[in-house]
Amino acid sequence: MEPDLRELLGELEEFGSANDASTDDRSRRMLNITHDTGVFLALLVKATGSRNVLEIGTSNGYSTLWLADAVGAEGSVTTVEKAPSKIALARQNFARAGLESRIRQVEGDAGDVIRSAGDAGYDFVFLDSDRDQYVGWWSDLRRIVAPGRLIVVDNAISHAHQLVDFTEAVGAAAGYLSSLSPIGNGELVILKEG
């Protein structure tokens, strides 16, 4: 990781913490992943050689920058967000990082994006959005992730109560192996066996 990107990520960590401490309005909070989650995501992307990443929940782009750096110059990250103010903030952060050429921002409903995605179109999917929707997206998530590839779900420990139906659906699906990692707020790592 380039020193300038490391510095920007540190700045965004501080901004996110200060911003979130100053408001109870969930729509105005950044709700960024933790630093160690960013490292974990980058490690997974690099170790699996993932090049086509889908992220659901951009916020200010903090997690997107970890992913975009990890995919390398030949990779791309499609990130979905519906809050216009966060999209604009993320766009500025992508430009500051010099990684905008690796990132495709989509403004809209994540469910629509997932339903319209091609079969096996992504080799890494990161979910950090409306957890109550995940179980409804499960059949399409299974379709759009390539065999032998990963889906990673944030907040799997901190908000486990909101993921009960989803984790049960994952556990009941043949051909999927999952493990809960106690990194950050808890990362559920799901492998679509090839």
Q: Please give the chain's pLDDT, 194 residues, in tens.
A: 898 999 999 998 888 788 778 888 777 877 899 999 999 999 999 999 999 999 999 999 999 999 999 999 999 999 999 999 999 999 999 999 999 999 999 999 999 999 999 999 999 999 999 999 999 999 999 999 999 999 999 999 999 999 999 999 999 999 999 999 999 999 999 999 98
Q: Where in 52-121 does DSSP place strands (E)?
A: 52-56, 76-81, 103-107
In this structure, which amino acid lies at residue 34? T
Tell me the HSE value of 135 on the side-chain side, using a 13 A CA sphere. 12
CATH of 32-192, one of 3.40.50.150, 3.40.50.720, 3.30.1490.190, 3.40.50.1820: 3.40.50.150
Looking at residue 17, what is its pLDDT? 83
Handedness of CA 27, 112, 156, 48 (dihedral sign): negative
Contact 71, 77 (CB under 8 A): yes
Tokens of 145: 């992730």
| Residue 57 DSSP class | -
Cβ-count burial of 189 within 10 angstroms (0-12 exposed, 13-18 middle, 19+ buried)?
A: middle
| Residue of 57, 67, 121 lying closest to 87 (CA atoms) | 57
